[in-house]
């Protein structure tokens, strides 16, 4: 506040941003207009304010003209507020004496009429000039950062990040929803384009996670509550009962063998339902931790209570405990990495491809399990009748690049379809047809892999498939599935009879992504993937400080990219941890004792219980450590006794008046 | 009568376009506004944005001040219910919105002049649509006379 009656000396800087602003707003006119506003000492326009010379221009003027307030009229404060605050600080002025005006995202990029846009820019500059006069010097709060980290999701991204952080000496809590880590990568047989065996490169990493002294691995667990702020999160993790005591079980499989069910009866999730499992099971031989789990929805004990509990008697380590209850763990961490991954598109949503209707229409994930030597068919690609197919059609872009389902390209399907084409050909010698829209193979060695397939006698038909049908028109088509597609290369519709159809399903946000998003207070982009702070410059950061994202939860991506992002997210978290403390915006609220009447209106309104009532003084008081600076109490106080730093009434009112009053 | 003619003349001399005060929360609607910009969506230059951290900071007096200073309309933007960055600030904003609506009715101010929209960070398109719609509505409704009326009272 200008209560010390200092003379307000404002410098206004209008950025051209190349043509970004100057092309749609009369920047020179705005600068000339600003120069005439009260308290403005100097007003300049410059090509790129955020560049070094631009920042130096401000610093030099602060000294030369003895400026004590700065208005930078350029892009969004969410992008460059930090830059200009730093420039202000460097010149020896408190950074909160700087106010930004957004005439790029809010004006030049969205408003087409040159005169209107210029008029609007002038209004906004005038508002900021009036506001900045009331701004006060403030200091950032420093709070220590808890060095522990929480990683949610144990797929390849979570595993990589966990190992990086743990190797850097940080305590890592890795929370996984399923009973084992590994995620989607554990399901795959081979990885493109090198055809590395997925298990061979993944399972050693899974064991490293299990054995790392710095990693606490909680599988079959979910985050149930999150409180706190950057550097200081309090997280509640619910460990679901697996009815097997993890510390006692050695994964000997005796319980599975002795289960009252002699054969598997329920769809095996890991094998995509291609095989059956018992109520007590280990998802796959390399599951980590290698601990059995009892599914209480199918186990007779839980359904009727009348089981002889043969599994329990079989276990010589007394590891089975039917009375296990959900266990709540409370942890404190400074940073959070979300690596929750994706889910495959449900092929039943495109009924014209016949998944669920024709038995020999498979999804790509089912075929991944089939070609896997430890899969349900021991590596044989078989139709539902148990025969090796003589011809196979792979349909690309199922649930991708489609107005009716998802508009985005899932980025991995072309490459994994090529991989599956190669593997199917290798396993069965069948004729393989790829139906694609465009072949998208950007990546190291990817195009070369495509080229290799072109020489492997795999057929490529360019065109979107219209339907898969069993409606035959000639005796040769008897017993086959017909793929109807336009071949845009020859300009005609073709019918290809095949024994097996593989649908290359795309990637989509997980059903529970919204829940997780809300819990960690981050945003999603339109399609439902987690939103990064900046698509290019902050791809693993979120708008919530201390929460980072990596892998397919942020958008479709393959294994190399997920691992790279996991590394980036881990590095970002390490920067926070190793700097030891974070600086918080001082936009907290405070109470002016002399004005507070003790009416208690504010007490119940604070979502963080930061306001308490001092009975002795008969006044409310705010605990700054708990206040997050929303300003709700400020607006609720009937006596205007509560103020919010950076957003004081006088600042906002002067800004509003500045917009309208010339 | 004469005064009306005079007013009309002034309006045609400098074609009147609505001025809408937009009060956006930092986390959802302001970010959506940035997104609209980055996506180069187009909407009329009728809004003037004031950023607050949370729509819960909305003081009813912001609205009344804006009207009496010459705002033709006010658009408030916050996070969707359940999505508030500060847990429940948007609900408090909603309560105050209802209060102001009542007051506006008593003061005979057209309800169209105040609008509350939940616009998330990903809804840049929605933001552009709302501003487009609102500009159209207010253009039809005409210039707000509140500033003039307040000035008359003060005289």
Handedness of CA A540, A542, A546, A547 (dihedral sign): negative
How much is the pLDDT for A624?
A: 87
- Distance (Å) from the alpha carbon of A388 to chain B's nearest alpha carbon: 48
d(CA A563, CA A565): 5
Give the gyration radius of chain A's Cα atoms. Answer: 31
Cβ B52–A628 below 8 Å, yes or no?
no
DSSP string, B92-106: HHHHHHHHHHHHHHH
Decide: A484 and A466 in contact? Cβ < 8 Å.
yes
d(CA A275, CA B68): 72
**CATH second-level architecture of A585-645?**
2-Layer Sandwich (3.30)
Closest CA to A108 of A182, A214, A14, A174: A14
Nearest CA in chain A to B41: A110
- Distance (Å) from the alpha carbon of A377 to chain B's nearest alpha carbon: 44
d(CA A259, CA A314): 9
d(CA A479, CA B68): 79
* Burial classification of residue A154, based on how many CB atoms lie within 10 Å of its CB (0-12 exposed, 13-18 middle, 19 or more buried): buried
Nearest CA in chain A to B82: A518
d(CA A251, CA A317): 11
Nearest to A629 among B53, B62, B83 (CB): B53
Nearest to B122 among A78, A119, A524 (CB): A524
How much is the pLDDT for A615?
A: 93
Number of CB pairs, chain A paired with chain B, less than 8 A apart: 151
Residues of A in Cβ contact (< 8 Å) with B31: 78, 523, 543
Cβ B54–A653 below 8 Å, yes or no?
no
Residues of A in Cβ contact (< 8 Å) with B71: 659-660
Q: Is A492 helix (H, G, I), strand (E, B) or coil?
A: strand
Cβ A629–B36 below 8 Å, yes or no?
no
Decide: A410 and A364 in contact? Cβ < 8 Å.
no
Query: What average pLDDT does range B14-39 have in this prediction?
Result: 94
Cβ B59–A635 below 8 Å, yes or no?
yes
CATH number of the domain located at residue range(s) A10-138 in this protein: 3.40.50
Torsion-angle region of A182 (φ positive above 0: left; ψ -120 to 50: alpha; else: beta): left
- Distance (Å) from the alpha carbon of A297 to chain B's nearest alpha carbon: 31
Q: Which among B16, B39, B48, B99 is the top mutation candidate for probing chain A, defined by the most A β-carbons within 10 Å of its own β-carbon?
A: B48
Nearest to B87 among A110, A607, A644 (CB): A607
d(CA A168, CA A151): 15
CB-side neighbour CA atoms (13 Å) of A618:
5
How much is the pLDDT for A426?
A: 94
Residues of B in Cβ contact (< 8 Å) with A77: 51
Q: Which among B15, B26, B39, B45 is the top mutation candidate for probing chain A, defined by the most A β-carbons within 10 Å of its own β-carbon?
A: B45
d(CA A158, CA A166): 12
Cβ A102–B49 below 8 Å, yes or no?
yes
How much is the pLDDT for A343?
A: 97
How much is the pLDDT for A89?
A: 95
Residues of B in Cβ contact (< 8 Å) with A655: 50
Decide: A500 and A393 in contact? Cβ < 8 Å.
yes
> Tens digits of per-residue pLDDT, A341-374?
999 999 999 999 999 999 999 999 999 999 999 8
Decide: A76 and A86 in contact? Cβ < 8 Å.
no
From the CB of residue B46, how many other CB atoms can be counted at a distance below 10 Å?
23
Q: Is A628 helix (H, G, I), strand (E, B) or coil?
A: coil
- Distance (Å) from the alpha carbon of B115 to chain A's nearest alpha carbon: 17
From the CB of residue B145, how many other CB atoms can be counted at a distance below 10 Å?
11
Q: A152: which strand partners?
A: A175, A338
d(CA A38, CA A298): 76
CATH 3.30.70 fits B17-154, yes or no: no
Nearest to B53 among A109, A523, A587 (CB): A587
> Tens digits of per-residue pLDDT, B124-150?
999 999 999 999 999 999 999 999 999
How much is the pLDDT for A218?
A: 98
Nearest CA in chain B to A514: B83
- A1 CB-near residues (< 8 Å, 6+ apart): A134, A136, A648, A650
Q: In the CATH scheme, what is the homologous superfamily, with its name and number, of domain A343-508? A: FAD/NAD(P)-binding domain (3.50.50.60)
Residues of A in Cβ contact (< 8 Å) with B20: none
d(CA A17, CA A119): 18
- Distance (Å) from the alpha carbon of A623 to chain B's nearest alpha carbon: 16
Decide: A588 and A622 in contact? Cβ < 8 Å.
yes
How much is the pLDDT for B83?
A: 87
Nearest CA in chain A to B53: A630
How much is the pLDDT for A423?
A: 96
d(CA B24, CA B118): 10
Residues of A in Cβ contact (< 8 Å) with B30: 78
Q: Residue B9: which pLDDT band, with cuts at 50, 70 and 90?
A: very low
User: What is the domain partition of chain A in residue ranges?
Assistant: 10-138, 254-314, 343-508, 585-645
- Give the residue ranges of chain A where pLDDT is below 50: 1-2
- A165 CB-near residues (< 8 Å, 6+ apart): A149, A151, A172, A214, A337, A570, A573, A574
The residue whose two tokens read 């072109």 is: A454
Q: Is A312 helix (H, G, I), strand (E, B) or coil?
A: helix
For the record, the structure tokens of A179 come out as 């009973």
- Distance (Å) from the alpha carbon of A223 to chain B's nearest alpha carbon: 18
From the CB of residue B73, how many other CB atoms can be counted at a distance below 10 Å?
24
Nearest CA in chain B to A523: B121
């Amino acid at each position: 506040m200008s209560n010390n009656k200092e003379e307000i000396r404002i410098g206004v800087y209008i950025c051209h941003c190349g043509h970004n602003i100057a092309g749609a707003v009369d920047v020179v006119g705005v600068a000339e207009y600003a120069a005439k506003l009260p308290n403005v000492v100097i007003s300049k326009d410059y090509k790129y304010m955020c560049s070094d010379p631009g920042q130096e221009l401000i610093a030099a003027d602060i000294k030369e003209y003895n400026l004590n307030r700065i208005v930078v009229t350029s892009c969004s404060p969410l992008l460059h507020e930090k830059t200009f605050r730093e420039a202000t600080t460097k010149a020896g002025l408190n950074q909160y004496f700087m106010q930004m005006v957004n005439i790029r995202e809010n004006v030049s990029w969205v408003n087409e009429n040159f005169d209107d846009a210029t008029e609007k820019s002038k209004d906004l500059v005038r508002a900021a000039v009036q506001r900045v006069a009331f701004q006060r010097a403030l200091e950032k709060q420093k709070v220590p950062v808890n060095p522990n980290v929480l990683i949610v999701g144990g797929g390849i991204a979570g595993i990589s990040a966990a190992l990086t952080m743990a190797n850097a000496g940080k305590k890592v809590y890795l929370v996984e929803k399923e009973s084992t880590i590994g995620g989607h990568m554990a399901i795959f047989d081979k990885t493109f384009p090198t055809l590395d065996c997925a298990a061979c490169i993944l399972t050693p990493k899974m064991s490293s996670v299990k054995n790392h002294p710095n990693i606490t691995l909680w599988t079959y667990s979910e985050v149930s509550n999150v409180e706190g702020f950057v550097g200081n999160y309090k997280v509640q993790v619910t460990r679901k009962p697996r009815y097997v005591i993890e510390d006692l079980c050695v994964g000997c499989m005796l319980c599975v063998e002795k289960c009252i069910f002699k054969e598997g009866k329920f769809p095996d999730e890991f094998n995509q339902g291609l095989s059956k499992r018992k109520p007590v099971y280990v998802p796959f031989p390399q599951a980590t931790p290698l601990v059995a789990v009892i599914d209480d929805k199918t186990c007779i004990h839980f359904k009727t209570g009348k089981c002889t509990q043969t599994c329990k008697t079989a276990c010589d380590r007394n590891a089975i405990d039917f009375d296990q209850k959900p266990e709540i763990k409370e942890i404190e961490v400074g940073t959070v990495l979300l690596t929750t991954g994706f889910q495959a598109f449900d092929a039943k949503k495109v009924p014209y491809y016949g998944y669920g209707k024709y038995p020999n229409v498979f999804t790509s994930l089912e075929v991944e399990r089939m070609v896997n030597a430890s899969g349900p068919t021991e590596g044989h690609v078989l139709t539902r009748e148990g025969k090796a197919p003589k011809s196979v059609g792979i349909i690309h872009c199922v649930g991708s690049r489609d107005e009716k389902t998802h508009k985005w390209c899932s980025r991995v399907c072309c490459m994994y379809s090529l991989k599956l084409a190669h593997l199917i050909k290798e396993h069965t010698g069948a004729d393989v047809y790829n139906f694609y829209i465009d072949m998208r193979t950007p990546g190291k060695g990817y195009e070369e892999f495509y080229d290799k397939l072109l020489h492997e006698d795999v057929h490529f038909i360019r065109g979107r498939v219209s339907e898969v049908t069993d409606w035959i028109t000639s005796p040769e088509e008897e017993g086959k599935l017909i793929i109807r597609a336009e071949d845009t290369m020859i300009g005609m519709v073709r019918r290809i009879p095949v024994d097996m159809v593989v649908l290359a399903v795309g990637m989509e946000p997980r059903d529970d992504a919204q829940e997780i998003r809300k819990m960690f207070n981050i945003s999603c982009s339109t399609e439902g993937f987690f939103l990064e702070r900046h698509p290019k410059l902050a791809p693993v950061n979120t708008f919530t400080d201390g929460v980072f994202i990596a892998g397919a939860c942020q958008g479709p991506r393959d294994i190399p990219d997920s691992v790279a992002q996991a590394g980036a997210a881990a590095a970002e978290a390490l920067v926070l941890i190793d700097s030891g403390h974070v600086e918080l915006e001082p936009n907290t609220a405070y109470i002016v004792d002399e004005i507070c009447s003790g009416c208690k209106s504010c007490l119940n309104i604070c979502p963080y219980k930061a306001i308490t009532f001092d009975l002795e003084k008969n006044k409310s008081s705010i605990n700054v450590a708990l206040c997050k600076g929303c300003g709700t109490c400020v607006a609720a106080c009937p006596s205007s006794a509560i103020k919010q730093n950076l957003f004081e009434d006088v600042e906002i009112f002067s800004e509003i008046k500045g917009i309208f009053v010339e | 009568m004469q005064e009306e003619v005079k007013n009309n003349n002034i309006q045609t001399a400098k074609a009147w376009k609505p001025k809408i005060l937009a009060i956006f929360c930092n986390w959802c609607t302001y970010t959506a506004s940035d997104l609209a910009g980055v996506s180069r969506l187009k909407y009329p230059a009728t809004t003037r944005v004031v950023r607050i951290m949370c729509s819960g900071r909305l003081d009813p007096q912001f609205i009344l001040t804006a009207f009496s200073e010459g705002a033709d309309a006010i658009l408030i933007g916050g996070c969707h219910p359940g999505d508030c960055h500060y847990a429940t600030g948007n609900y408090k904003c909603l309560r105050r919105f209802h209060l102001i609506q009542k007051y506006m009715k008593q003061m005979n101010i057209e309800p169209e002049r105040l609008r509350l929209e939940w616009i998330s960070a990903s809804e840049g398109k929605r933001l552009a649509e709302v501003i487009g719609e609102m500009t159209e509505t207010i253009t039809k409704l005409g210039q707000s006379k509140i500033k003039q009326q307040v000035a008359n009272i003060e005289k």
